[in-house]
Amino acid sequence: MTFEELYHTADVLVRVRGASINEVFADAARALFSVMYGDCEDGGIVQTLTLEADDRESLLHDFLSELLFITDVENVVFCSFDVEVRDGDLSVVMRGEPFEHEKHSGGTIVKGISYSGLQIVKDDETYEVDVLFDV
Amino acid sequence: MIEGVLRAGTYEWEVPVGFVPNMRVPGRFFLSEDLGNTLEAGAVQQLANVATLPGIVKNALAMPDIHWGYGFPIGGVAAFDMTEGVISPGGVGFDINCGVRLVASPLTADDLAGTKRRLIEEIFQAVPTGVGARSSIRLSNKDLTGMMTDGTRWCVDHGYGMESDLAHSEEGGAMENADPDAVSAKARQRGLPQAGTLGAGNHFLEIQVVREILDPAAAAAMGITEGQVCFMIHCGSRGLGHQVCTDHLKVLEKATKKYGISLPDRQLACAPVDSPEGRSYFGAMACAANYAWANRQIIMHEVRRVLTTIFDVAYEDLKLVYDVAHNVAKYETHQVDGRQQEVCVHRKGATRAFGPGAPDIPQAYAAVGQPVIIPGSMGTSSYLLRGTEIAMNRSFGSTCHGAGRVLSRSQAKKEVTGKELREQLAKEGIYVRAHHDSVLAEEAPGAYKPSDEVVRVVDRVGLSTLVARLEPQGVIKG
């Protein structure tokens, strides 16, 4: 795992680090699903998604928000993400399994992705971002 | 106390202009010395950030359950001028009209002996809970529109309640100016299968017993007696409300730039109250708020139905005491500097607490003030209070909403396992039911400020005064 949970009393704050921007987006998505459902395996479900946004932070915010929508209406739990972030848009291939009450009920619902403190910074060769999930 | 914060009274503190750049008014919050030990610097900073927003009236306020959130602090209250001021989803939150209702029954604690477990199990079967919960109600898009515009009224018209429920809710269970056209297809898609579901996280349904009457006259007016069995339902607008917030945040992010508003936190994205973007958010937020009232109404209907099958009680004898919203923005009229002014009040993790004689209070409570329901953390006491004139003058008719966390969810899980907690509560006679034990640990009582101390402060300051204390007997965790 290349994300860690930071201290936050009310909500869940995760710090994601990666060698590339694609990795940061993929791990932020994995963190989101880990908070919501715990463990997940590739169960043969494959979906793709493309998105546009004005800046990279908005792109990350919209990407994670879109995942919340998809998991809520389609009852799918994703565990891996091949993300390609470009200037102003992204495309992603997501893999996962159907939601099962017994297996996936140990986590908590993420209500939204906050813009608070959402800033992608690059230090030498590492990208880093803190993302706050409202739970 | 955090450096830079000034004492303004026994339980009152001021965050002076200059605490963060561009504050327009001072921040004020209510807290005891004891609770001061748990105050996070981030929460005070967020309160100061609110004070930078255009058109803020008097003060950025926070209640004694103030804690660190995003955008506004949790426990935050702020009113904005209708022409100069702004409206922000950061002052409402993702779970629009997360709220709580109290239902009184003619049963007493003795009636629960030997049946408590069965009662909880049957309610657990009747009310979908937890992550991934789906409703057994099949709604059409027209039904959903009805729920979003008419809230509790839609439910009563469709057999999920009775006429007398309507008056016993903030806003009569439906806000005006709800605009279904401002609600996206995505939000509708999420709302359709989730009506009448409890959700997860800190949401719950509790069986409680009234253990202490602290204000006999007000308790009598609210139909509350010692030893009485009550039900408390805490949940919100589910995926529909979350999506409304997400959709409009995007729009308001752009509007912030369009109207030349500079912000210390992107989550405070906002637009003038009286702008197309501001009105559109308000209209969508009101739809989500009404959906939340309908949601709690349907859950209450299921509880009533289960009770009438187990006990010799009539549906009509299970009375809604009141229903309050915790996360909402409202157009309200308040006394400001000696004159009546319409303002847009944001309450984020705060409860309306209108005093005696205020508008929108049912006749039965006109003399005592609006009932205020403060849920405790799991396994601890909840409180019934009443709104006051002091709240009208000091906090735009607002008070606290709950206990407020002191431990993060992952810290709480390190302190105790869900199984240990369930067993410990069982020894105290509290039967807890959830899909997974793991969801219990993060809501352990030790993770929250003591609710007794939070309500003591609002009672002492007079933002609302104590009426009754209720103890849990059984808990369904979302």
pLDDT bin (cut points 50, 70, 90) of residue B414 is: confident
pLDDT in tens, B343-362: 999 999 999 999 999 988 99
Q: What is the pLDDT of residue A101?
A: 85
Q: What is the pLDDT of residue B449?
A: 81
Residues 57-96 of A with CB under 8 A from B: 57-58, 62, 65, 68-69, 72-73, 75
Of A10-24, B211-225, B376-390, B437-451, least confident by mean pLDDT is: B437-451
Question: Does pLDDT of A40 surpass 90?
Answer: no
CB contact under 8 A, B406 and A132: no
Question: Does pLDDT of B461 surpass 80?
Answer: yes
Chain B: give the shortest CA distance to residue A10, in Å: 6
On chain B, the residues whose CB falls within 8 A of the CB of A77 are none
- Assigned superfamily of B6-89+99-406+448-477: tRNA-splicing ligase RtcB (3.90.1860.10)
Chain A: give the shortest CA distance to residue B115, in Å: 27
Q: What is the pLDDT of residue B275?
A: 98
Question: Does pLDDT of B388 surpass 60?
Answer: yes
Per DSSP, the three-state class of A103 is helix
ipTM for the predicted complex comes to: 0.95
Chain A: residue whose CA lies nearest to B418? A106
**What is the pLDDT averaged over residues A55-74?**
96
On chain B, the residues whose CB falls within 8 A of the CB of A99 are 132
Mutate to test the interface with B, among A111, A120, A131 (most CBs of B within 10 A): A111
Chain A: residue whose CA lies nearest to B187? A69
On chain B, the residues whose CB falls within 8 A of the CB of A39 are none
CB contact under 8 A, B132 and A75: yes
CATH number, domain containing residue A97: 3.55.10.10
Q: What sign does the dihedral B63-B67-B69-B70 (CA atoms) show?
A: positive
On chain A, the residues whose CB falls within 8 A of the CB of B40 are 9
CB contact under 8 A, B442 and A69: no
CB contact under 8 A, A8 and B408: yes
Q: What is the pLDDT of residue B436?
A: 85
% of chain B surpassing 70 pLDDT: 100
B314 phi, psi to nearest 5 deg: -95, 150
Of B74, B269, B410, the CB nearest to A10: B74
On chain B, the residues whose CB falls within 8 A of the CB of A69 are 186, 190, 243, 246
Q: Please check whether residue A119 is in contact with residue A57, taking contact to mean a CB–CB distance below 8 angstroms.
A: yes
Chain A: give the shortest CA distance to residue B407, in Å: 5
- Domain range annotation of chain B: 6-89+99-406+448-477
CB contact under 8 A, B131 and A115: no
**What is the pLDDT averaged over residues B278-306?**
98
Q: What is the pLDDT of residue B413?
A: 84
Q: What is the pLDDT of residue B415?
A: 85
**What is the pLDDT averaged over residues A125-130?**
94
CB contact under 8 A, A114 and B68: no
The total number of structural domains in chain A stands at 1
For B472, the token pair is: 């849990």
Chain A: give the shortest CA distance to residue B440, in Å: 10
Please tell me if residue A106 touches chain B, with a CB cutoff of 8 Å.
Answer: yes
pLDDT in tens, B117-162: 999 999 999 999 988 888 989 999 999 999 999 999 999 999 999 9
How many beta carbons lie within 10 A of that of residue A112, not counting itself?
Answer: 26
On chain B, the residues whose CB falls within 8 A of the CB of A111 are 93-95, 201, 242, 245
pLDDT in tens, B41-81: 999 999 999 999 999 999 999 999 999 999 999 999 999 99
CB contact under 8 A, B186 and A69: yes
CB contact under 8 A, B67 and A10: yes
Nearest to B183 by CA among B239, B109, B139: B239
CB contact under 8 A, B68 and A72: no
Contacts across the A-B interface (CB distance below 8 Å) = 102
Q: What is the pLDDT of residue B377?
A: 87
Chain A: give the shortest CA distance to residue B433, in Å: 14
Q: What is the pLDDT of residue B281?
A: 98
Show which residues on chain B lie within 8 Å of chain A, measured between beta carbons: 40, 67-71, 74, 93-95, 130-132, 186, 189-190, 199-201, 239, 242-243, 245-246, 249-250, 253, 265-267, 269, 405-411, 435-436, 438-439, 442
pLDDT bin (cut points 50, 70, 90) of residue B447 is: confident
Of B67, B265, B436, the CB nearest to A9: B67
d(CA B63, CA B40): 14
User: Pairing relation of β-strands B72-81 and B56-70?
Assistant: antiparallel
Q: What is the pLDDT of residue B91?
A: 98
Comparing B416 with A65, the larger pLDDT belongs to A65
Chain A: give the shortest CA distance to residue B31, in Å: 18
CB contact under 8 A, B246 and A112: yes
Range of the domain at A37: 3-134
Of A66-75, A106-115, B307-316, least confident by mean pLDDT is: A106-115
Chain A: give the shortest CA distance to residue B30, in Å: 19
On chain A, the residues whose CB falls within 8 A of the CB of B407 are 9
For B170, the token pair is: 């903030």
Active site residue B203: no
Q: Which listed residue (B234, B334, B346, B401) is catalytic?
A: B401
On chain A, the residues whose CB falls within 8 A of the CB of B436 are 105-106
Question: Does pLDDT of B321 surpass 90?
Answer: yes
Q: What is the pLDDT of residue B201?
A: 83
Q: What is the pLDDT of residue A1?
A: 55
Average pLDDT, chain B: 95
Mutate to test the interface with B, among A71, A99, A116 (most CBs of B within 10 A): A116
